[in-house]
Structure 1
Amino acid sequence: MKEQVSIRPATSADAEQIVEIYNHYVLNTTITFEEEPVDAPEMARRILDVRSIPLPWLIATSDSAVIGYAYASKWRARAAYKFSAEATVYLRAGQVHKGIGSELYRHLIAALQVAGVHAVIGGVALPNDASLRLHEKLGFEKVAHFREVGFKFGRWIDVTYWERILNP
């Protein structure tokens, strides 16, 4: 039986469950370059900051548990970048390869189109085959490969950037 998943905008009340997801990646992977766990008040602030831009921050829930989230942030601060955004997707451990990341990303892209975003950019720390496949599946093109730009867990990490033009 397929799990029933709902997608909705995140609120600061979701911060506790979001940090449970995110801190797994902070402590155990090179997917994020953050090195210290984040607490719920800090995550609530981040959610409010993104939503105030305004850009979308979405969560996927199943049986009222947050099982994933996706959000967009400003690509760069300068005014001419105002139609570009960077997208991020995280899933709770054990929720990968179920289509939840794709569904979250599709909803995020749709919300970005409504918001008038022209270009969506996704950064992928390597290795991360699942994220590379996700970006390819959703029509992103690889536009950059930066070598050894991150250092975590005693090793250098490459990062690729992917772009999708939404409103050509």
Structure 2
Amino acid sequence: MVTVRPAAPDDLDAICAIYAHYVQAGVATFELTPPDRSEWLRRFSAIVDAGLPFLTAEIDGEVAGYAYCAPWKTRPAYRHTVEDSVYVAPDALGRGVGGRLLDALIADCTDAGMREIIAVIVDADGAASLALHSHRGFVEAGRLRSVGFKHGRWLDTVLLQRSLDAE
């Protein structure tokens, strides 16, 4: 069974390992070098200190994924818009982890007074992420062509957007 809870600093080693897999083996992120634990602690603190959700999913007490929302842009007019990130441990794929995390993010962002959530998804190898988001009401808002170069190829991103019920 998948349990979702607020992430804690003790989760950061597992989060580092999950993200490092996607940095090194895939194109879900455009980072080329996996961040170390101290960088993850900085990111974690910035998100939590901003009052935004940073969540961990567990299966049988082991971290099976994580998700968070960060500010979309730093300018004040964007303060009610966030960008989501959802990553599932490779051995936990297909077990409902991503869906549980994204559902919790949406609820937490609504409670935090956010109005819009943006997802930036690399369309190469991104079918699962696109499906995950579209099943939760995200709609395509645009496409950026050849904006990333990783693993010897140019990559497009698809921008998805979901409006929340926040007033």
TM class, shorter-length: over 0.9
Aligned to 1:132: 130
Q: Does 1:36 align with 2:33?
A: yes
- Paired with 1:44 and 1:93, the residues of 2 have a C-alpha distance of 22
Matched pairs, number: 165
Q: Which residue of 1 aligns with 2:3?
A: 6
In the aligned structure 2, how far is the partner of 1:133 from the partner of 1:121? Answer: 15
Q: Could you report, residue by residue, the CA deviation over 1:26-67 in whole angstroms, capped at 9, with x for unpaired residues?
A: 000011000002211211221111101110000001222110
Q: Which amino acid aligns with 2:44?
A: I
- Please report the RMSD computed on the Cα atoms of aligned residues, expressed in angstroms: 0.9
Secondary structure, aligned partner of 2:92:
coil
Q: TM-score, normalised by structure 1?
A: 0.95
Q: Is the 8 A contact 2:2 2:100 kept in 1?
A: no
Gaps of 5+ in 2: none
Letter in 2 for 1:142: E
Report the TM-score when normalising by structure 2.
0.96
Corresponding position of 2:152: 154
Equivalent residue in structure 1 for 2:141, among 137, 140, 143 = 143
Q: Which stretches of structure 1, 4 residues or longer, exceed 6 Å deviation after superposition?
A: none
Report the Cα offset of residue 106 of structure 1: 0.2
Q: Are 2:102 and 1:82 equivalent residues in the alignment?
A: no
Within a 5 Å distance, the mapping from 1:14-163 to structure 2 comes to 14-127=11-124, 128-163=126-161
1:58-87 superposed Cα distances (whole Å, 9 cap, x missing partner)? 000122211001100000011110110001
Q: Which runs of 5+ in 1 are unaligned?
A: none
AA paired with 1:40? Answer: R
- Displacement of 1:145 in angstroms is 0.4
Q: Report the secondary structure of 1:94's partner residue.
A: helix
Q: CA deviation at 1:95?
A: 1.4
Q: What is the aligned-residue identity percentage? A: 38
2:117, 2:163 within 8 Å by CA — same for their partners in 1? yes
Residue identity opposite 1:111 in structure 2: D
Q: Match of 2:104, as an amino acid?
A: H
